[in-house]
Amino acid sequence: MRFKKDPFLVNRSPFGIEVLVIYTGGTMGMGIGSTTSKDEVLVPRDFSRLSEAVPELLRLSANITLIATDTPLDSSNVKPSDWIDLAKLIGESTDRYDGYVVLHGTDTTAYTASGLSFLLEGLDKPVVFTGAQLPLESVRTDARENLITAIMIAADIHNSEACAPEVSIYFDGHLYRANRARKTHSAYFDAFVSYNYPLLAEAGIRIDYHHANIRKPGKTKFKFYDKLEENISIVRFYPGIKESVFEALTSDPDMKGLILETFGMGNAPTDPWLEPALRQLVARGVVVLNVSQCPGGTVVQGRYQTSKHLKSSGVIGGGDMTTEAALAKMMFVLGNDPFKSDPAKYLQMDLRGELTEEER
């Protein structure tokens, strides 16, 4: 993800609060592209004329600076290396900005935002991800409200402290912890849900922060990481999964980590081939993590007979983590010291609010 060299000022305010808006692509900045069929095709557009599209930005109490990628990306094309580029951009500019808004395609927002939550350690400033289900140029769009409110949250400081100093996702009036949210609808404006953690804030006539749910900056000095282990695979169990299918999905000799998406509270088939296959993976050094296919609830390995064989095979319970958070966390833990020295310990430890430890 390469960024334009010259960010430009969208709005100047006498209040001196600095917000950097990072445009990566996504539906918010898309428009109707050329097509030979009758179907309208959305393609990324240049986002440089933001204040013309949203003149309300000129009334906000913040200096708003915009930086965009050289080429807008559909979020389906965003990769972990792009997460690192975003973390570096933010990490190297924290002395200049009080808050950040990342405009990102909704399809993989939960992955990228979860990745940023781990890459930015000791964060004490808001990093608010948002996007839209309809482009800004659409007559009936959610883009305008999402953008304006996300900037307001990023700029919201009370008693010299940010009101929401963590990586979050703002969408349709709700502020979610980034590594607890997931996209659950492709057509409605309320596209995101956080089943296992309450909202950080709700935006109606005013923005109401639920301060008890927001992470407080600790004593850890801020730093950003620039490494992720990408040799990770995911296997989603389904009724009747064949041994040959499982072997095909786990046969990569370079694989360092495997995430199992299991049934219910962490259950999987008890077919006789599965336990030896898992033991073999663990023996060769592959870290195997168990998360539930259910959007809510938690994994409790051993609660049912159909998960005892996973636990005895060396599979790690993923608690109430989402798949998106589990993937990002595993990439982070296996890619960085000191975490990769004891991945089981850190995967089961709450690092950024992504896991309810007592529910393991």
Query: Could you read off the pLDDT of 274-307 as tens digits, one per residue?
Result: 999 999 999 999 999 999 999 999 999 888 888 9
Of the residues 27, 141, 298, 322, only one is catalytic, namely 27
Nearest to 175 by CA among 127, 143, 222: 127
CA atoms within 13 A on the CB side of 19: 33
Query: Could you read off the pLDDT of 227-272 as tens digits, one per residue?
Result: 999 999 999 999 999 999 999 999 999 999 999 999 999 999 999 9
pLDDT at 137 exceeding the cut of 90? no
Q: Which CATH class is domain 8-224?
A: alpha beta
- What is the reported pLDDT for 359? 42
Domains 8-224 and 232-359 belong to one CATH topology: yes
Place of tokens 């792009």: 82
**Planar angle of CA 128, 156, 74, nearest 5 degrees:** 20
Return the domain boundaries, the chain: 8-224, 232-359
Residue 162 to residue 153: CA distance in whole angstroms: 9
262 is catalytic: no
Beta bridge partners of 175: 170, 201
Position with higher pLDDT, 25 vs 256: 256
Place of tokens 């992720």: 228
The answer to whether 58 and 11 are in contact (CB under 8 A) is yes
Query: Could you read off the pLDDT of 328-347 as tens digits, one per residue?
Result: 999 999 999 999 999 999 99
- What is the reported pLDDT for 358? 64
- Is the bond into 338 cis (omega within 30 degrees of 0)? yes
- What is the reported pLDDT for 36? 53
Task: Work out the end-to-end distance of the chain between its first and last CA atoms, rounded to an integer number of angstroms.
Answer: 36
pTM for this model (two decimals) = 0.93
Fold of 232-359: Rossmann fold (3.40.50)
